[in-house]
């Protein structure tokens, strides 16, 4: 049993070293932030029950949403193309078709009433200094403000896709895709998806001129965005490996947790949508994970059988040596 | 010219030309190994197998990797990881093996130290082994540059800076090594060459030397017993295998090696599929950016102990201490003045020296990773002093060791 005690000693020292350089060292190097499960405790909960028809009237009319936003599912094109929008606001205005499914309702309500507070970027937009957020707050159209906001949200939720129809890719594009690129194309369920830019999927061009023209447009957009945000938001292709699931979730939940004063807004997604964003980042940056699990299982079985045969061979050979 | 007769079989044909029976006898069936050994004696075979895994996976990676600062990162993280069939598997095998190989090297080294396997004619085994350690370190470092991520770039920056020699300000030397003022294309190309050609060639040569160095003094055993190999071999060949103190390399020793290898591979592939993160630092999945220094720069775990010997001192003293740590293990056979070649447990003060050294190196390893502040800094400082002190003490405590 001498061999066994040697193995125990080797294992203990190996595990001790591992513990010290991995879990322990990382706990000392990185701030640990617990997720709040995307409930946004600081935002007041909606108390009124919304009326879809009235909400629609407000969105189309007094709310003046469609002056800047498109709603494709309702056949309303954005009044500005992304290049004009970025020129005017520093970032493209989002289409509202999916927002009811992607964002938390309490967050949406605060976003309508007070965008910089919802986005946690009040440090960047001080009205007294004339720093206005591109989206003006909605002060109401004469009725009860909270009721009107609840109506608008009810409407936005009524036109949004059902949770099961919202794909990880859609969730990512609505929540992250106007600032962040995904340079790596990927394939999912046999379908190939091109790279993502802030102005949409990168098309395939037959002529080089067209490809260069598109590239120029993206670069122009990124220049404006950079000016608005202070730095170009990073490409997210490998973020699932470089940051990991926990960091990404707690970061989008409240970017100020990690980077005090960052221009990155609170994203405001609901918990389900956060999972979908993670899944999309895995589809892009860890696309072989299912294969890895499957092959891993088979190779482990193979190696265990190999080890059993190796042990039997040793016993056979050593029978006459003892 | 030798005399050749008409071959009676393919075996005979080869035997006349290559002497395969002789090779087999010399290398396997009559290459004598002591019987009194434990599984730690299989670390050499495990290292050979792991090196084989590194070589084969490296060849596959080499077919798709692009040593260009503009494309290196994407060729690894996109082409190899997502486009090439099983590219992810080769990369994970390569990355995990590069880390695990050092774990086994350290176990192999401390086994040698514990059992005194560097003494009495075995000095060249130890020295060639240490040369292999240096070559593997250079191979690991140069390989770490290739994905051209943030940690590649900044580790390259920090380590090449060491060659400025502190107050010597040998910036010309640093630029010569980099081929540029900062790590850039020339730097990446030459480290690529070193990683895929020059250092592997050196490693192959050194493995030959290491194996060759074993032949005359023979493998040590777990009680440090001096064995009359010829007499014991004669007993074995006469059929008294049970009472002989030696066994043949193949199949006797080999079968035990393969048993340990089998169990090791379970551990290895578990890491490859389910726990690869420890070997592939997340920071290196951000592309290299010379304008953005990462918050924490640290080497891979196997370099941390020597990094921590550099860190707690002022620049010049730190560099001298670092240089000391790099070479001092080579001198072990000459600093150990004891006449005993027995396990440390039977060697008086050396027993304490051994465990103190092991624990001190683990402390250095841990402190080398955490930020050098407050208590960690102090612990690191004293652990580095302890390391140097232990080596200074070694000749004295071993000189007065009683003969057992």
The verdict on a CB contact (< 8 Å) between B262 and A307 is: yes
Identify the pLDDT of residue A102.
98
* Same domain (yes/no): A69, A26: no
Q: How far apart (Å, rounded) are the C-alpha atoms in residues B180 and B12?
A: 59
Tell me, yes or no, whether A239 and A317 share the same domain: no
If one counts the domains in chain A, the total is 3
Which structure tokens are listed for A248?
């990404």
Q: What is the pLDDT of residue A215?
A: 97
Q: What is the DSSP string of A217-244?
A: HHHHHHHHHHHHHSSPPPP-TTHHHHTH
Question: What SS3 state is found at B246?
Answer: strand
Predicted confidence band of residue B120 (pLDDT cuts 50, 70, 90) = confident
Q: Is A41 helix (H, G, I), strand (E, B) or coil?
A: coil
**Token output for A206:** 């037959």
Mean pLDDT of B308-319: 94
pLDDT of B119 > 70? The answer is yes
Using a pLDDT cut of 90, give the percent of chain A over it.
Answer: 93
Residue-level pLDDT at B223: 94
CA B298 to chain centre: 19
- Residue A283 shares a structural domain with residue A186: yes
Q: How far lies B86's CA from each of A286, B49, B66, B149, in Å?
A: 13, 21, 18, 22
Residues A1, A129, single domain; the answer is no
Classified as helix, coil or strand, A86 is helix
Q: Which residues contact B302 (CB under 8 A, 6 or more apart)?
A: B99, B102, B103, B105, B106, B137, B140
> Could you read off the pLDDT of B122-141 as tens digits, one per residue?
999 999 999 999 999 999 99
Q: From the CB of residue B247, how many other CB atoms can be counted at a distance below 10 Å?
A: 26
What's the mean pLDDT in B230-237?
96
Q: What is the count of residue pairs from A and B with beta carbons less than 8 Å apart? A: 134
Q: Please report residues of A whose CB lies closer than 8 A to that of B282.
A: 241-244
Mutate: best of A245, A311, A317, partner B, most B CBs <10 A: A317
Distance CA B404, CA B402 (A): 6
Which of A6, A22, A307 lies closest to B266 in CB terms?
Answer: A307
Residues of B with Cβ-Cβ distance to A318 under 8 angstroms: 252, 255-256
What does the alpha-carbon distance between residue A256 and residue A264 come to, in Å, rounded to a whole number?
8
Q: Are residues A220 and A254 in the same domain?
A: yes
For residue B334, name the pLDDT band (cuts at 50, 70, 90): very high
SS3 B181: coil
- Per residue in B319-333, pLDDT (tens digit) is 999 999 999 999 999
pLDDT-derived band at A256 (thresholds 50, 70, 90) equals very high
- Residue A131's pLDDT is 86
Q: Are A22 and A42 found together in one domain?
A: no
Average the pLDDT over each of A105-114, A135-144, B92-101, B133-142 and give the range with the smallest value: A135-144
- Closest residue, chain A, to B252 (C-alpha): A317
Average pLDDT over residues B366-377: 94
Query: Percent of chain B at pLDDT above 70?
Result: 100
Q: What are phi and psi of A196, to 5 degrees?
A: -110, 135
The secondary structure of residue B284, as a DSSP letter, is G
> pLDDT band at B96, cuts 50/70/90?
very high
Domain that holds residue A66: 31-287
Residues pairing with A193 in the sheet: A186
Contact A295 B103 (CB under 8 A): no
H-only helix segments in B29-86: 43-62, 72-74
Residue that is written with structure tokens 């992810």 in the block: B88
Q: What structural domains and CATH numbers belong to chain B?
A: 28-291 (1.20.810.10), 298-404 (no CATH)
Contacts of B126 (CB under 8 A, 6+ apart): B112, B117, B118, B332, B333
Average pLDDT of the residues of chain B = 96
The model's confidence at residue A1, banded by pLDDT at 50, 70 and 90, is confident
- Residue owning tokens 């176990």: B107
Shared-domain flag, residues A166 and A104: yes
State the nearest Cα–Cα gap between A114 and chain B, in angstroms: 34
Instruction: Based on the fold, state whether residues A106 and A158 are members of the same structural domain.
Output: yes
Q: What's the pLDDT score for residue A241?
A: 97
**Count of CB atoms situated within 10 Å of the CB of B233:** 19
In chain A, the residue whose alpha carbon lies closest to the alpha carbon of B114 is: A6
Claim to verify: residue A13 and residue A113 sit in the same structural domain = no
Query: Is residue B327 exposed (0-12), middle (13-18) or buried (19+ Cβ within 10 Å)?
Result: exposed
Which are the contacts of A266, defined by CB distance < 8 A and separation ≥ 6?
A107, A118, A119, A120, A121, A252, A253, A254, A255, A256
Q: What is the pLDDT of residue B404?
A: 81
> Does B85 have pLDDT greater than 70?
yes
Residue in this structure with the two tokens 């040590």, named with its chain if needed? B220
A230/A92 same-domain check? yes
Percent of chain A topping pLDDT 70: 100
Residue of A nearest to B41 (CA): A3
**A12, A123: one domain:** no
Report how far residue B250's alpha carbon sits from residue B25's, in angstroms, rounded to the nearest whole number: 10
| Cis peptide bond prior to B251, omega within 30° of 0 | yes
Of the candidates B40, B266, B370, the beta carbon closest to that of A303 is on: B266
> Confidence class of residue A143 from pLDDT cuts 50, 70 and 90?
confident
Q: Which among A170, A138, A189, A178 is positioned nearest to A277, based on CA atoms?
A: A170
Q: Is the pLDDT of residue B1 over 80?
A: no
- Residue range B72-89: mean pLDDT, rounded: 97
Which residues fall within 8 angstroms of residue A134, CB to CB, at 6 or more apart?
Answer: A88, A89, A90, A91, A93
- What are A215's strand-pairing partners? none
Q: Are A146 and A97 in the same domain? A: yes
Inter-chain CB proximity B256 and A242 less than 8 Å? no
Task: Give the model's pLDDT for residue B252.
Answer: 96
- Measured from the Cβ of residue A230, the count of other Cβ atoms closer than 10 Å reads 12
Selecting from A10, A241, A300 the residue whose C-beta is nearest the C-beta of B269 gives A300
| Mean pLDDT, chain A, integer | 95
Which pLDDT does position A314 carry in this prediction?
Answer: 97
Chain A residue with Cα closest to B76: A238
Please give the Cα distance from B91 to B94 (Å, whole number): 5
- Of residues A131 and B383, the one with the higher pLDDT is B383
The pTM for the full model equals 0.95
Give the pLDDT confidence of A8-51 residue by residue, as tens digits. 999 999 999 999 999 999 999 998 999 999 999 999 999 999 99
User: Is the model's pLDDT at A225 over the cut of 90?
Assistant: yes
């Amino acid at each position: 049993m001498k061999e066994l005690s040697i193995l125990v000693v080797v294992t203990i020292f190996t595990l001790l070293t591992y513990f010290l350089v991995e879990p322990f060292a990382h706990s000392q190097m990185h701030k640990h932030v617990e997720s709040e499960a995307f409930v946004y405790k600081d935002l007041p909960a909606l108390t009124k029950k919304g009326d879809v028809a009235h909400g629609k009237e407000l969105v189309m009319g007094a709310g003046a949403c469609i002056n800047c936003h498109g709603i494709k599912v309702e056949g309303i094109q954005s009044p500005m193309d992304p290049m004009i929008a970025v020129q005017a606001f520093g970032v493209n205005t989002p289409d509202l078709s999916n927002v009811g499914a992607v964002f938390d309702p309490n967050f949406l309500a605060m976003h309508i009433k007070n965008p910089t507070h919802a986005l946690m970027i009040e440090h960047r937009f001080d009205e007294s200094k004339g720093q206005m957020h591109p989206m003006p707050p909605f002060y109401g159209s004469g009725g009860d403000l909270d009721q009107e906001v609840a109506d608008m949200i009810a409407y936005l939720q009524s036109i949004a896709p059902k949770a099961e129809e919202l794909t990880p890719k859609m969730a990512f594009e609505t929540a992250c895709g106007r600032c962040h690129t995904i340079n790596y194309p990927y394939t999912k369920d046999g379908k190939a998806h091109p790279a993502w830019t802030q102005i949409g999927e990168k098309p395939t061009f037959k002529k080089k001129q067209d490809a260069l023209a598109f590239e120029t447009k993206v670069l122009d957009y990124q220049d404006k965005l950079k000016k608005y945000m202070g730095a170009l938001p990073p490409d997210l292709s490998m973020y699932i490996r470089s940051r990991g699931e926990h960091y990404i979730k707690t970061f989008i939940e409240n970017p100020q947790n990690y980077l005090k004063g960052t221009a990155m807004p609170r994203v405001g997604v609901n918990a389900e949508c956060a999972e979908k964003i993670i899944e999309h980042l895995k589809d892009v940056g860890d696309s072989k994970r299912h294969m890895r699990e499957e092959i891993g299982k088979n190779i482990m079985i193979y190696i265990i059988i190999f080890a059993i045969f190796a042990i039997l061979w040793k016993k056979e050979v050593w029978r006459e040596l003892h | 010219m030798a005399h050749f007769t008409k071959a009676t079989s393919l075996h005979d044909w080869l035997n006349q030309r290559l002497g395969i029976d002789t090779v087999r006898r010399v290398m396997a069936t009559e290459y004598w190994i002591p019987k009194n050994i434990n599984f730690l004696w299989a670390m050499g075979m495990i290292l050979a197998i792991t090196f084989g895994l590194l070589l084969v996976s490296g060849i596959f990676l080499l077919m798709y990797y692009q040593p260009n600062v503009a494309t290196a990162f994407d060729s690894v993280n996109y082409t190899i990881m997502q486009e090439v069939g099983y590219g992810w598997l080769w990369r994970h095998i390569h990355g995990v093996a590069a880390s695990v190989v050092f774990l086994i090297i350290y176990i192999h080294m401390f086994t040698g130290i514990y059992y005194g396997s560097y003494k009495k004619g075995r000095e060249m085994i130890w020295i060639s082994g240490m040369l292999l350690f240096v070559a593997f370190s250079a191979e690991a470092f140069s390989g770490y540059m290739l994905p051209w991520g943030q940690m590649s770039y900044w580790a390259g920056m920090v380590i090449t800076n060491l060659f400025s020699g502190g107050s010597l300000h040998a910036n010309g030397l640093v630029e010569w090594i980099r081929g540029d003022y900062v790590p850039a294309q020339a730097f990446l190309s030459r480290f690529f060459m070193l990683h895929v050609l020059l250092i592997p060639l050196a490693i192959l040569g050194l493995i030959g030397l290491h194996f060759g160095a074993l032949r005359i003094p023979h493998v040590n055993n777990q009680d440090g017993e001096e064995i009359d190999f010829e007499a014991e071999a004669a007993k074995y060949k006469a059929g008294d295998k049970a009472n002989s103190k030696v066994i043949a390399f193949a199949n006797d020793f080999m079968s035990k090696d393969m048993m340990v290898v089998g169990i090791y591979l379970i551990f290895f592939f578990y890491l490859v599929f389910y726990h690869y993160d420890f070997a592939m630092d997340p920071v290196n999945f951000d592309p290299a950016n010379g304008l953005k220094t990462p918050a924490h720069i640290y080497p891979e775990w196997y370099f941390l102990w020597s990094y921590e010997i550099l860190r707690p001192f002022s620049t010049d003293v730190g560099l001298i201490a670092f240089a000391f740590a790099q070479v001092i293990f080579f001198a072990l056979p000459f600093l150990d003045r004891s006449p005993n070649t027995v396990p440390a447990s039977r060697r008086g003060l050396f027993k304490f020296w051994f465990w103190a050294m092991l624990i001190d190196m683990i402390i250095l390893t841990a402190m080398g990773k955490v930020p050098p502040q407050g208590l960690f800094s102090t612990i690191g400082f004293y652990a580095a002093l302890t390391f140097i002190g232990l080596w200074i003490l070694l000749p004295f405590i071993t000189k007065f060791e009683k003969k057992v």
